[in-house]
Structure 1
């Protein structure tokens, strides 16, 4: 009979569970240690918890299964052990005490063992103690994840080092996605973890169940803060230096560049392009990296979408089919710099007065100088300077980004050739 079928040693209604939960909620470490070390018997007792996510980090989302359990007749029992609780909260004294009293370091009645919990919390000292007492460094949780796959924060670097020192498998493919630890590091933007894994022999172009390499996973991961952006850029540069294929496609034929463009990361796009990524690649849906950049332009950070579009065009990305330009105008009306960069990539493009109908009045008013200059071209040819720009760009082709800076021209003219937006069209 499994522990899920057996009655817990300390059910939800017990006095000890109530006091333990109160102590944890209050951050009363002394009381937590006293309860775990002096009152819980046996040392591997199974403790039942409520479905309130109380022993996880405050920002964690309640699992769907737990939510369903609250509203259906199915009761979702959450079980753990004293060792798991101590490891999850970094209580080194408790972990040492329990292990010295022969607690099983691999017990996982609730699906995760103490080593999983220590890695999730980034508690290096607890991780080392558990490993020294024989914890299995490759123990799989109920979700099929090894401890290395739960090293998901910068603070967990020490945990990852300890696991590898004790024989953890760096190339282990785990979970529904068949991710390796390097994939996990890429998904969470952990450049130091990635460097550690590569140094231990991780294959840089290993693929998961979705056909993604670590580089692909990193380019598609969400980042929010400047620090996360910087870590992601360092990680991708590390992977590329380690031999990662810049143009590796996943199961949907999307390249890392498709994903970086979809996330509006101009620095990352430029990095990929300079390592040979195909600016004109098409995914299974027929979308190019440029199309991905245009689709997400209005929700991207300021300046990012036009920089992404500019980088793609300067690396030879085909421009949008002229008949589709009104659709781009409708989609990107709030980001006129994107429209300017794209419009200037054509030698000539017939401007229609009807285009004004797709631009909301408030957007037109906000960016009136630009839109006035755009619609003025409906009756005026492009300048000779622009035609010369197009001729030079056509001659240089995909090497515009490389050759234009070498031309004996003032920097302002070089930037003009590289489609630097000016705020108006001429």
Structure 2
């Protein structure tokens, strides 16, 4: 029978009988009444899924008691048939003794059928959890796209900010690179430049993603720009999306922003430019080839590092000779100091030997010609150099492509 199946399901979740953990002998408690809205204790460990009560043994002091309902548990696990039965028994779809209502749990798990059932039974699509999050804020996976569609169809407010961070559903979609979610929200009137409490827009959130996150990130970036997103929107630290893309060593996003007119020399409250962000984070992002971002910025007219501060860059980026080569070749001439040898790692001796041989000498004529051409083209190097009627290797040389040695 269907009812027996649901009862068995709830028993399996620890809902109809409960054993209270203690240090003495276990005592079997009377069965809980078959109410549709019982508030039932469950025991959870930090960082772990809630679990039913153990039949025997001692409990770790790290475990804490939380409250839940049958409806919350069935929604969390996506048991639509059991959920339907409870709702037909007049279970309250908005009851949230543990902080999250069944609708929050269903959205978090991406259970579209459960979300539909709850909304059909008048669940509040804008109900906030104890964390100040609406159901739309919990649509954080590709599987939750159907949940988001249902919420909006039943009156969810697309621009509703979370209570603590002030982020909208569009911010959340950007953080998780959910381009389809973002397209859905924008179609329903989402404000493309809505600000969080840290004055961050969805574009700013998106540009913090690592380059390997997903091709969807670049597609999402195009989507936001097509809807009029402010390319140079500054957060409370005066950092632009370009600062964040460069700090994440995301050359593809940085390239897109620069082509859309982002300020390559924007300065934040700490006086740091996008190039400075790229250099500061390079040591922690070696696998992401941060020299590509540095090269890109210089080819778009970024101001160079003050020559006297080159030693600081060498110390932090010496393990990435490609960055040192690109930066060094962006100058017409920069004095090579013997002090630099202290910062050089042994595994890149070939490159640094070629660098130190330039101490007290003038750069070769080929490099001087490169500097003259780059100086003439300025911030248009990236688009004018490829148009020159010269072989591709010369294009690469003029665009500061690393060669492994300096001459």
TM-score (normalised: structure 2): 0.88
Residues 333-344 of structure 1 mapped to structure 2, 5 A cutoff: 333-344=318-329
Equivalent residue, structure 2, for 1:253: 238
Which of 73, 85, 94 is equivalent to 2:82?
94
Equivalent residue, structure 2, for 1:390: 371
Gaps of 5+ in 2: 1-10, 21-30, 52-59
Equivalent residue, structure 2, for 1:44: 37
Q: Does 1:240 align with 2:225?
A: yes
Single out whichever of 47-56 and 397-406 deviates more from structure 2. Answer: 47-56
Alignment CA distance shift 1:91-1:385 (3 Å) = same
Inter-partner Cα distance in structure 2 for 1:187 and 1:54 = 21
Inter-partner Cα distance in structure 2 for 1:192 and 1:15 = 41
| 8 Å CA contact 1:48, 1:80 repeated in 2 | yes
Q: Does 1:16 align with 2:11?
A: no
Equivalent residue, structure 2, for 1:35: none
Alignment CA distance shift 1:376-1:307 (3 Å) = same
Q: In the TM superposition, what whole-angstrom CA distance separates every residue of 1:103-151 from its partner, at most 9, and x where no partner exists?
A: 1111111111000000000111111111111111111111111000010
Alignment CA distance shift 1:17-1:216 (3 Å) = farther
| 8 Å CA contact 2:45, 2:64 repeated in 1 | no
Which of 396, 401, 407 is equivalent to 1:415?
396
Equivalent residue, structure 1, for 2:340: 355
1:301 shift after superposition: 4.2
Runs of 4+ in 1 over 4 A off after TM superposition: 12-15
Describe the SS at the equivalent of 1:346.
Answer: coil
Alignment CA distance shift 1:168-1:142 (3 Å) = same
Describe the SS at the equivalent of 2:34.
Answer: coil
Inter-partner Cα distance in structure 1 for 2:39 and 2:158 = 31
Describe the SS at the equivalent of 1:16.
Answer: coil
| 8 Å CA contact 1:265, 1:304 repeated in 2 | no
Alignment CA distance shift 1:103-1:13 (3 Å) = closer
Inter-partner Cα distance in structure 1 for 2:46 and 2:113 = 24
1:220 shift after superposition: 2.1
What's the C-alpha RMSD, in Å, of the aligned pairs?
2.4
Describe the SS at the equivalent of 1:246.
Answer: coil
Inter-partner Cα distance in structure 2 for 1:57 and 1:344 = 58
1:303 shift after superposition: 5.4
Equivalent residue, structure 2, for 1:263: 248
| 8 Å CA contact 1:264, 1:301 repeated in 2 | no
TM-score (normalised: structure 1): 0.84
Describe the SS at the equivalent of 1:310.
Answer: helix
Gaps of 5+ in 1: 1-9, 20-37, 59-68
Q: Does 1:279 align with 2:264?
A: yes
Equivalent residue, structure 2, for 1:321: 306
Q: In the TM superposition, what whole-angstrom CA distance separates every residue of 1:274-296 from its partner, at most 9, and x where no partner exists?
A: 11111111110111111111111
Q: Does 1:375 align with 2:356?
A: yes
| 8 Å CA contact 2:335, 2:360 repeated in 1 | no
Q: In the comparison of the two structures, how many residue pairs are matched?
A: 378
Q: In the TM superposition, what whole-angstrom CA distance separates every residue of 1:81-102 from its partner, at most 9, and x where no partner exists?
A: 1001000011111111111111
